[in-house]
Chain A
Amino acid sequence: MRDLAPPQGDYIGILAEPSGFSRIRANTWTRFIARRLLNLVVVLTVLLLCDFLILRLIPGDPAEIAAGTSGAQEQVQAIRHELGLDLPLQAQLVNYCVNLLHGNLGHSFTTNQPVTEIIAQRVGPSVQLAGLSLALVLIVGIPAGMIMGALTREDRRRRLELSFTTTTSLLSALPEYFVATFLAFIFGLVLRWLPVAGSSDLSGLVLPTAAIALRPIAVLARIVRVETLNVLAQDYVRTARSKRLKPRVIYLRHVLPNVVTAALTIGGILFAQLIGGAIVIENVFARNGLGTTLVTAVLNRDYPVIQGVILVLGVIVVVVNALIDVVLAVVDPRSRTRLT
């Protein structure tokens, strides 16, 4: 093939430099990571500060709470000294940070067990539950939304669309504990297929996972369907169709990445829903996790445990959100340069 014309015109800008492209790309990645890290540091600092302040904001004297109702004055004084509450606020903050770096989150007011130990015992089941729910949400929500989008594209199948939107808006209005109660009623009491509470093996995970995942699935499927419709209406899908590719290729290669991008942008909020759901659901099914630990601690005014659990959950939320941003940057090259 002979060249048609001498090079001319509009590509002079970035193409003129031989290595222009790679330099720009490396740059955007570095800047993206730097910005992201800075953001992470700021948010974590704020989280630490808030966590630190919990013990200092409560009305009344934590030392008296720790000593219990029978505590003598000297005992309260001793506890206050032990907790470092007799120091100035800045010194308390420094102590808090130093202890944190040593992996020391204090001791439970009620059991005197180290908080790190309590958390270490309880974090496993919670992560298992939240992880399973997250997997379920992604595995069901995205394909369901995409298939619905494909079936109802360009105003096809109006009745199917109506029943889908009605069902999902109903499901997304149902609180986790409602779903949990209902599922327990049907599968635990009426059908007697699954244990309702107290079981720690895999069958005991089915109902809690389903209860947590149902609402986020409905929300995600709805959003993915609308996003699929949006993507299908894009010019680049028309271009793909004009190439006469197989429908499978059009949907998986051209539509899916763009839909996933949109789904990921609400990933943070969905994950928050999952964590919140897990806290409540652990209590419904009497599972030993961070959620039950937290609620018990609040009821007992066991502040070191509250602080510890909040910190761990907070860090998980922050880190997961940062990871979502990174995944988004990999999937959607444009989001790297977007300034937010």
Chain B
Amino acid sequence: MLKALLRSPTGPISLIALALILVVAVIGPIFWTGRATTLNFAESALTPGPGHLLGTDDLGRDIFARILVATRSSLVLSLAATLIGAGIGIPLGAAAALMTQRLRSVALRAIDALIVFPGILIAIVIGAIIGRGAFGAALGVGIAGSFAFARVASTLTLGVGGRDYVAAARVLGISRRRILVKYVLTNIADTLAIAATVSISSNIIQVSALSFLGLGVQAPQYDWGGLLTQGVKSFYFNPAAALGPVVAIALTSLTFGLFGEALARAFNPLLWARQGGDGAKRMVSEKTSPSPDSSGSHPASGINKGGSANAVLDVSELTVTFPGQRRVVNDVSFKVEKGEILGIVGESGSGKTMTAMALASLVPYPGKVDGVIRLQGTDMNHVPLRDIDRLLGTKIALIFQDPLASLNPALRIGIQLTEGAETHLNLKHAEALGLAVDRLREVNLPSAERLLNRYPHELSGGMRQRVMIAMGLMSERALLIADEPTTALDVTTQAQIIELLARVNEVHGTAIILITHNLGLVTQICDRVLVMYAGRIVEELSTQQLIDRPLHPYTLALRAAIPDMTQSVAEPLETIPGQAPSPEAIPPGCPYHPRCPLAVDRCRSEVPPLLAREDGRRVACWVANQDLQ
């Protein structure tokens, strides 16, 4: 715990500063009270100079000494306010969260309404009722801050209260109060500690503000806020008298704030971990050795070159690299013929999605793409920058896994459909809308005109995916890339979407790349299949060959893992033993060898090349290709 605290970036600094402040608060009044309270009219109203670091006030008292002495009262008041706030707020919030549904929503709404009230206003009102003075200020600031505590406590309690062990305690008939103390409070204590620290940080400011306004600590007692009031009065003459207390307030508040943040990091390192999206984006240390296989696999790409004029897409030696020599796509070459449906299958992390992203030039930063991509014969590396957007925006369409997440929740369907066509085809808005209506009808969405004015959340999952497909049809696409287009949908809708894709392919002749981990889907509509493993193509074969006789042991294992109707329910499902390697730790040699039942010595040291065979397929396996060598 302490170790984690010291490791966080703000931990050590805030700890040291905190210790200093506490020491000053303890010894300040002991050592400097004399200097701070002795009247000395001979030295009244001095500007900063030797002997008086920040000058003296009207009565000749040293201002710096007064600031040091006031540390204790300011700190004690803030702590008292925090204790009052926590003491009122936490039980209230926790209790609110444990109430019955109806009462709870009323209580939570009340907390929400109170929390948006300016704290200083509440503190002033309470101060006005109690009477001005230190107690009124602490109570006022405390109550004003209690709503924040109540909110945090209720949120946390709701979170914990929903957990299984609390439900179990409830079923066992344990009393509400015992549940609150034993199960809930102990589990939210760390977060509340953080909230308390942050609360002290802001209470220092609030208490000082009240004193500054004359509503807090009353003379002859003083705290930082009171010193500030006096300092502001002589501001033109001695600005240091005002700046001094203000700096003390700000630094102390900042220290507690930083300490709270450090505590939060120490308590909950996961929560504070850098948010970097999926694994591919995350940076990895440079210690991963360069992959030993970068030269191993060239023979394969040779046979793919100079292909037929019909190829919509011709990819050769495509590689996607992330920092740390992580190749998420490694030397991938393939073609997509006109009107063809190509399946790409593999486990998560096999590089299938990143291959698609590379084709659409959407690889996330800081990924680097190498290789040649020819779209309808045009080498994308040689397309002028200003034409790339138009080419990709009109020729390639993408459909993603989750249609709700893929449509912008704040924009109407109409604009999301038309904006691409307006940008790249120079259509007027009305023309684009007309086209959109046609396309929505084409994907079996009736009432298309009305649909244009809807927001995505008003549609069903199947409708949204149809909208995505309609979006893909807004111009005459050469290629449609569908990345797990049915995973987020229910089974009936899945079938409809797949049928729709097949029809689009049939009617428009649009080539489709279907990325999926569902081999059943592949056998339904694909002509050809690429099997990817650890960033490489391990086998390319026709759908019939996939059904009849895969050659690569990985493809075999994948096929065996598909359950079918003839299988008895009593039999365990087939699984592939072991795990797919992460891009940081791809084993040397054939990446599949640790899981492969057929692996021989050579597999452990040399990467098998992807070789073309007589039956039209390509396989990268030393064992399967034994006859070719």
Contact = CB atoms under 8 A, between A and B. Distances in A.
Interface of A: 1-11, 13-15, 18, 21, 24, 39, 43, 46, 50, 54, 57-59, 153-156, 169-170, 173-175, 177-178, 181-182, 184-185, 189, 196, 229-230, 233-236, 238-246, 249, 253-254, 257-258, 261, 268-269, 271-273, 275-276, 279-280, 283-284, 294-295, 298-299, 301, 303, 306, 310, 313-314, 317-318, 321, 331-334, 340
A284 B120 contact: no
A295 B410 CA distance: 44
B407 interface: yes
B128 A189 contact: no
Nearest to B496: A9
Given A173-B250, A235-B406, A317-B116, A245 B125 contact: no
Contacts of B117: 272, 314, 317
8 contacts: A50-B125, A173-B254, A175-B205, A196-B235, A196-B236, A236-B407, A244-B389, A276-B118
B381 interface: no
A154 B113 contact: no
Interface string B113-153: 10111111100110111111000000000000000000000
Given A5-B444, A253-B411, A298 B116 contact: no
B408 to A, nearest CB: 4
Interface in B497-534: 499-500, 503-504, 507
For the complex of A and B, 10 pairs with smallest distance between CB atoms: A244-B393, A10-B462, A276-B118, A268-B116, A235-B405, A257-B410, A244-B389, A243-B420, A276-B120, A175-B205
B118 A244 contact: no
B214 interface: yes
Given A181-B242, A181-B243, A279-B118, A175 B406 contact: no
A298 B122 CA distance: 13
A269 B409 contact: no
Nearest to A274: B118
Contacts of B401: 235
A57 B421 CA distance: 68
Interface stretch (B28-36, B313-321, B449-457): B449-457
Contact of A294 (B124, B283, B461): B124
Interface residues of B, number: 105
Nearest to A13: B460
A54 B277 contact: no
Contact of B406 (A9, A154, A239, A276): A239
A276 B493 CA distance: 54
B482 to A, nearest CB: 12
Given A155-B283, A235-B400, A54 B118 contact: no
Contacts of B457: 333-334
B298 to A, nearest CB: 32
Contacts of A332: 409-410
Contacts of B360: 242
Contact of B423 (A153, A238, A243, A261): A243
Given A177-B228, A189-B239, A271-B116, A3 B441 contact: yes
A340 B104 CA distance: 11
Contacts of A268: 115-116
A244 B257 contact: no
A21 B228 contact: no
Interface string B477-509: 000000000000000110010011001100100
A18 B449 CA distance: 12
A298 B128 contact: yes
A301 to B, nearest CB: 8
A6 B493 CA distance: 15
B362 A241 contact: yes
A178 to B, nearest CB: 5
B132 A298 contact: yes
Most buried by A among B116, B471, B493: B116
Contacts of A318: 113
A299 B118 contact: no
A273 B423 contact: no
Given A1-B438, A295-B213, A298-B215, A306 B254 contact: no
Interface in B84-132: 109-110, 112-113, 115-121, 124-125, 127-132
Contacts of B119: 272, 276
Given A58-B129, A242-B362, A5 B423 contact: no
A245 B438 contact: no
Interface string B430-441: 000000001101
B410 A280 contact: no
Given A235-B406, A239-B398, A333-B455, A244 B116 contact: no
A276 B121 contact: yes
Contact of A4 (B364, B416, B507): B507
Nearest to A270: B116
Interface of B: 109-110, 112-113, 115-121, 124-125, 127-132, 201, 205, 208-209, 212-215, 228, 232, 235-236, 239, 242-243, 246-247, 249-250, 253-254, 257, 261, 274-277, 281, 283, 360, 362, 364-366, 388-390, 392-393, 396-398, 400-402, 405-411, 415-416, 419-420, 423-424, 438-439, 441-447, 450, 454-455, 457-458, 460-463, 468, 471, 492-493, 496, 499-500, 503-504, 507
Interface of B is mostly: helix
Contacts of A18: 447
A324 to B, nearest CB: 9
Contacts of B129: 54, 57-58
Nearest to B209: A280
Contacts of A173: 201, 250, 253-254, 257
A212 B297 CA distance: 65
B577 to A, nearest CB: 33
B451 to A, nearest CB: 8
A181 B410 contact: no
A257 B471 CA distance: 21
Given A11-B462, A275-B121, A279-B120, A5 B362 contact: no
B109 A39 contact: yes
A68 B276 CA distance: 66
Contacts of B499: 5
B505 to A, nearest CB: 11
B393 A243 contact: yes
Contacts of B112: 340
Contacts of B493: 9-10
Contact of A272 (B116, B275, B420): B116
A238 B109 CA distance: 36
Nearest to A185: B239
A8 B492 CA distance: 11
B200 to A, nearest CB: 12
Contacts of A184: 235
Contacts of B444: 3-9, 11
Contacts of A241: 362
A257 B411 contact: yes
Given A5-B503, A155-B274, A239 B408 contact: yes
A280 B115 contact: no
